[in-house]
Amino acid sequence: MKEIFDNWKKHSKEDYDENLNYLKSLRGNKSIDQSAAELDKTVFAKVDCLQCANCCKSTPAMVTRPDAKRIAKHLGLSSKAFIKKYLLEDYDGSLMINGVPCTFLNVDNTCQIYEVRPEACREYPHTAQFGFHRRSRMNAQNTLICPATYEIVKRLKAIHV
Ligand code: SF4
Ligand code: SF4
């Protein structure tokens, strides 16, 4: 864990352009999805997200309407009251949590609404999901936020030159 985290901290910014260009070069190569999913499993077996929580600390979590309904029910609020208190609405109607670091992040990096957290949080950083090869910009952006993503891309570059 420490090595992955230190390496990310030291190199992710300087490697960003190279990573973005590499990830762009993978577009259309569907076989990459399988490699990324396998690396996701290997890398996350070594990473303890509770020692990191950088995603929760640095980016506002996207919340769908079904997410909002589920979390509101969990908190004993109406959807309307939950949205008003905890979410921001973008110009296109999309919703996100109104605090960075996230309003629901505890000091020990646990999540106050873990059981009902938004799908986007559940699926982050999406490295095991179908379509990895297409999401070059998002994956590159995530190398700056997520040590595990940086490591997955680093290992991917060693396999698929
Ligand atoms: S809802 Fe929970 S998992 Fe999602 S960003 Fe906030 S603290 Fe993290
Ligand atoms: S940024 Fe990545 S490694 Fe850190 S907590 Fe989030 S998913 Fe886990």
Q: DSSP for 62-115, please give it.
A: EE-HHHHHHHHHHHT--HHHHHHHHEEE-TTS-EEES-SS-TTB-TTS-BTTGG
In this predicted structure, what is the pLDDT of residue 161?
Answer: 80
Arithmetic mean of pLDDT, 33-62: 97
In this predicted structure, what is the pLDDT of residue 1?
Answer: 80
In this predicted structure, what is the pLDDT of residue 59?
Answer: 94
Q: Which residues of 143-161 are buried (b: 16+ CB within 10 A; e: fewer)?
A: bbbbbbbbbbbbbbeeeee
What residues does ligand 1 touch, defined as CB less than 6 Å away? 56, 61, 97, 102, 104-105, 111, 113, 117-118, 121
pLDDT tens string 52-111? 999 999 999 999 999 999 999 999 999 999 999 999 999 999 999 999 999 999 999 999
pLDDT over 90 at 160, yes or no: no
pLDDT over 90 at 121, yes or no: yes
pTM for the whole structure: 0.95
pLDDT averaged over every residue in the chain? 97
Q: How confident is the model at residue 20 (pLDDT cuts 50, 70, 90)?
A: very high
Q: Which atom of ligand 2 is nearest to the CA of 109?
A: 5
Percent of the chain whose pLDDT exceeds 70: 100
Backbone phi, psi, residue 52, to 5°: -125, -75
**59 by DSSP, 3-state: which?**
coil
**Spans of all domains in the chain:** 2-55+125-159, 60-123
Give residue 107 CA to ligand 1 midpoint distance, Å: 12
Contacts with 91 (C-beta within 8 Å, 6 or more apart), sequence order: none
Q: Which amino acid is at 13?
A: K
Please report, for residues 1, 99, 154, the alpha-carbon distance to residue 146 in angstroms, rounded to integers and kept in the order given. 12, 19, 12
